[in-house]
Amino acid sequence: MIINPEEHDYRNIYKLMVGLIVPRPIAFVSSISPEGIRNLAPFSFFTGISANPPVICFCPMIRLSDGSRKDTLENIEATKEFVVNVVSEEFAQKMNTCSIEFPPEVDEFEKSRLTPIPSALVKPPRLKESRINMECKLLQIIHVSSKQLGGSIVLGEVLRFHVADDLYEDYKIDPDKLKPIGRMGGSAYIRTTDRFDMARPKTGEIRD
């Protein structure tokens, strides 16, 4: 099967992309509007960019429903701050509630019954239920497309990592205690309980 995106509806290309770019971690992003309204929303186009300095990125997309921009993007452009919270199995359903396209005046913390707690350096709150939070300042936003299902790249420098003590040892995170989840295509999610180790080979170890 060879697919030329120019010959297919962009909605079907989206379905294709979320089915083949898998599994995807979830950035559960908390932000705040200039008026002080809290926002909490999940994004599965999310990854790390740099360790020196620590920089992460996520990609909010233009809404298919009405062609508008996500409240998260509007808030971050205005305030230059956000927090990325890692999603664990225990509150997956509440996270999913925050994927609803609520109007800007709605506080998703209240709708989902999740708990905001103060951040150390930024105004947006952290998520108490999340066992890892990353406080970020905005570095750059790259607007790739303003069309429906187009996207932007939000790059943020991590100013503070908050990690639950029982997860952490010598800069390593215990995945069995974190119980993170990820996205597949459509409405499918994954657990990370089926893992295997594979050491990176060294130069000279691979023979023709």
pLDDT 10s digits, 124-152: 999 999 999 999 999 999 999 999 999 99
Q: What is the pLDDT of residue 208?
A: 64
Rg (the chain; Cα; Å): 18
Q: What is the pLDDT of residue 180?
A: 98
Cβ atoms within 10 A of the Cβ of 87, count? Answer: 28
Question: What is the rounded end-to-end Cα distance, in angstroms, of the chain?
Answer: 31
Give CA–CA dist 23/5, Å, rounded: 22
Q: Which residues of the chain have pLDDT under 50?
A: none
Q: Is 121 helix (H, G, I), strand (E, B) or coil?
A: coil
**Where do the structural domains in the chain lie, given as residue ranges?**
25-165+174-183
Q: What is the pLDDT of residue 202?
A: 85
CA torsion angle 58 60 61 62 (round to 10): -160
Q: What tokens were used for 148?
A: 């429906």
Please identify which residue in the block is written with the tokens 């639950």.
164
Q: Which CATH number fits domain 25-165+174-183: 3.20.20.60, 3.60.21.10, 2.30.110.10, 1.10.10.10?
A: 2.30.110.10
User: pTM of the entire structure?
Assistant: 0.94
